[in-house]
Amino acid sequence: MTLPILLVDDDLDACETMAKLFHAHGYMADIALDGKAALTRIEQRRYGLAIIDYQMPGMNGVDVMRRIRRARPELPAVFLTGYTTIDVVFPAVEAGVLRVFPKPVNFRELLAIVEEQLGAAA
């Protein structure tokens, strides 16, 4: 069985839509609406991939990623952002993300990363 995906974004509708799309492709996804909730979730469950929004209240995606790296250094992650400037992309890559996807996200490209990291869903 494939490990679930952790979706971290303060936009509930976007998370629910993405979770449904992943489910339709055979993947499970949990939702965390902010960084604090994401960190709580990774303490409670193993994930195969984290998909993290950059701009969130409280803690931005880079801050979340750095804290995830301390707690679960093996957890691969990608970023979603409407801010694809060097000020966002460089710190994200430096924090350990595999890739930064601009919003709106091309789901096929994102799905390819999911399949690469988790394998094809059964």
Burial zone of 81 (CB within 10 Å; 0-12 exposed, 13-18 middle, 19+ buried): buried
Match domain 5-118 to its CATH number in 3.40.50.300, 3.40.50.720, 3.40.50.970, 3.40.50.2300.
3.40.50.2300
pLDDT tens, 40-89? 999 999 999 999 999 999 999 999 999 999 999 999 999 999 878 888 88
Task: Say how far apart CA 18 and CA 95 lie, in whole Å.
Answer: 24
| 100: helix, strand or coil | strand
Task: Say how far apart CA 35 and CA 16 lie, in whole Å.
Answer: 17
Task: Please give the biggest Cα pair distance in the chain.
Answer: 39
The chain-wide mean pLDDT, for the chain, equals 93
71 closest CA partner among 52, 45, 92, 94: 45
Task: Say how far apart CA 75 and CA 42 lie, in whole Å.
Answer: 9
Task: Say how far apart CA 37 and CA 41 lie, in whole Å.
Answer: 6
- DSSP 8-state class, residue 113: H
pTM: 0.94
Quick check: 29 pLDDT over 60? yes
Domain boundaries, the chain: 5-118
